Amino acid sequence: MPESRVPRRRRFLVCEPRHFAVQYAINPWMHPDTPVDVDLAQEQWQSLVRAYEAYGHTVDAVEPAPGLPDMVFAANSAFVVAGRVFGSRFHAPERRPESAHYETWFKAAGYDVYRPENTCEGEGDLVWTGKYVLAGHGFRTTREAHREAQEFFGHPVISLTLVDPRFYHLDTALFVLDDEGDGNIAYYPEAFSAGSREVLERLYPDAVLATRDDALAFGLNSVSDGRHVFIAPQAETLAARLDAHGYVPVPVDLSEFRKAGGGIKCCTQEIR
């Protein structure tokens, strides 16, 4: 029998998709010729915010800036643990101006923002497990940024190598289910190098594994509050496995954002 899972209230930072579009291609999901339905994107995004609020979470929003179509992906703007904000330095020149907008928001909210010297895309590649930081590299965030984050936070940073360009950010291949005690994660093993897979197996022998279809449906781009898992409805196998482990899947469809290579977690920054 799965144990009963206890949720913890979260504070999330989001950015409305007012200027969302696919105007350039910086990952294999993006095709500037495929039109984005902006109204549908707005509706889907609103349903995510409503779902967070319905489960008792606090949602803050950054004002979107025109000309920054990927700014909706709030996860990439920073990585925050215990009130320490490690800002972003984007790989793609198109996204670089986003950092300053988020920095302005954090400063107004009373936080100091550390500006990394190395390429780092926030919670896209840095994941807090409650004990340490799992950090992806291979496509965006660099290993030098992992070292920089370790110096900044004083928490162990475990580097993991991503090998499939469709899973270019760590948060497309792995998410934290539980950040209390030893915690647990869900992930898609094939997105990682053989050595990194072994690391994950050793750290999380009871992890929930996703299928390729789950991963391609952005099922690993999910947000968990320790009990409820906000997840793409298309990730059916993963949702069933989560249910069997005592979690409660809460389906939220952000299909329009997949055209930019994003999903639920990409649209969500957690402020810890």
Q: Is 270 in the site for ligand ARG (CB under 6 A)?
A: no
Q: Which of 15, 91, 228, 266 is catalytic?
A: 266
Only one residue has tokens 């319905």, namely: 54
Residue tagged active-site, from 169, 228, 245, 267: 169
CB count in 10 Å sphere of residue 56: 12
Q: Return d(Cα 163, Cα 57) in angstroms, integer.
A: 34
- Which residues from 106-135 bind ligand ARG, rule CB under 6 A? 124
Residue of 88, 127, 261, 270 that binds ligand ARG (CB under 6 A) = 261
Between 241 and 258, whose beta carbon lies closer to ligand ARG?
258
Cα gap 239→187, rounded to integer Å: 13
Closer residue to ligand ARG (CB): 79 or 204: 79
163: three-class secondary structure by DSSP: coil
Q: How far is CA 59 from CA 56, 103, 164, 200, in A?
A: 10, 17, 32, 31
Structure tokens at 227: 């009990």
Given the complex with ligand ARG, which of 17 and 261 has the nearer CB atom?
Answer: 261
| Candidate list 16, 70, 148, 178; residue touching ligand ARG; CB under 6 A | 70
Q: Can you read off the two tokens belonging to residue 58?
A: 């606090």
Nearest-angstrom CA–CA distance, 213 and 233: 12
Say whether 266 is catalytic: yes
Interface residue with ligand ARG, options 262, 264, 269, 270 (CB under 6 A): 262
**169 noted as active-site residue:** yes
Q: What is the torsional sign of CA 189, 12, 7, 120?
A: positive
Rounded to whole angstroms, the Cα distance separating 21 from 68 reads 9
* Per rule CB under 6 A, count of chain residues that contact ligand ARG: 16
Q: Is 138 in the site for ligand ARG (CB under 6 A)?
A: no
Per CB under 6 A, the segment of 11-19, 42-50, 73-81, 229-237 that binds ligand ARG is 73-81
Rule CB under 6 A: choose which of 49, 157, 232, 260 binds ligand ARG: 260
Ranges within 189-248 binding ligand ARG (CB under 6 A): none
Among 49, 75, 81, 252, binds ligand ARG (CB under 6 A): 75
From CA 148, how far away is CA 63, in angstroms rounded? 29
Name the residue whose CB lies closest to ligand ARG: 266
Q: Does 44 bind ligand ARG (CB under 6 A)?
A: no
Residue 221 CB, shortest distance to ligand ARG, in Å, is 6
Residues with Cβ within 8 Å of residue 54, at least 6 apart in sequence: none
Taking CB atoms within 8 Å and a gap of at least 24, the contacts of 200-206 are 200/160, 200/174, 203/158
Tell whether residue 139 is a contact of ligand ARG (CB under 6 A). no
Phi, psi dihedrals of residue 7, rounded to the nearest 5°: -80, 155
Catalytically annotated residues? 169, 266
Binding site for ligand ARG (CB under 6 A): 26-27, 30, 70, 73, 75-76, 95, 124, 169, 171-172, 260-262, 266
